[in-house]
Amino acid sequence: MEEILNLLHDNARLSSEDIAAMTKRSVAEVDEIIAKLEADGIIIKYSAVVNPEKFKANKGKVQAVIEIQVTPEREHGFDAIAERIYRFPQVKTLNLMSGGYDLQVIIEGESLQDVAFFVARKLSTLNGVKSTKTHFVLKTYKENEVIYVDDKKDRREGVTA
C-alpha cells in the first residue's frame, strides 16, 4: 500500500496498469488498494502542481504568510478559531505551530491592499485573535518538494579581463 501511495504522490497521473507493472501486482489489486486509500481518507485529492511564475492568471497575485497569536477557547482549544479561519476563501494553508505564535496562515490576494484588507477587516477582528504579523512572499523557489527555478539556466559567472 505504501509503495503505491508513494508512486501516486510522485505522479498522480500514473495509470493502474503502470502501477501494477511497477509493483508487480495485478491491475485489480492496484485498483482495490487505491479505492481503499481513497475511502479511508488517506488520498484526499488529486491535483496538478502549477508553477505560479509561469501561470499567466496568477500574475499580479500576492501571497502572504501571517503569524497569528490567539486565545484558545475552553473545550475547543485552537480548533474552533482555526475552523473560522480556514473557511475564508483567501486561506490556502493553515497550520498550528509551536513557538512564538499559534497559527500560521498562508493566504492569496489580488493585491497588497487586498491582503491588508483581509488581515485588518476579517482576520484581526475575529474573537480570540490577539495579534497578527504579516510577511509577503516575494518569490517561491521550492514548495511541496517541487523546485520552481529553471535548472537549465547557465549559472556560471562570466570571466572578464
pLDDT of amino acid 149 = 81
pLDDT of amino acid 150 = 76
pLDDT of amino acid 104 = 98
pLDDT of amino acid 157 = 67
What is the CATH T-level fold of the domain 56-137, as seen in this structure? Alpha-Beta Plaits (3.30.70)
Low-confidence residues of the chain, pLDDT below 50? none
pLDDT of amino acid 153 = 61
**β-bridge mates for residue 69, sequence order:** 131
Rounded Cα gap, residues 124 and 114, in angstroms: 14
Would you kindly state where each structural domain of the chain is located, as residue ranges?
A: 2-39, 56-137
Cell, residue 128: 480570540
Helices (H) and strands (E) in the chain, counts: 5, 6
pLDDT of amino acid 36 = 93
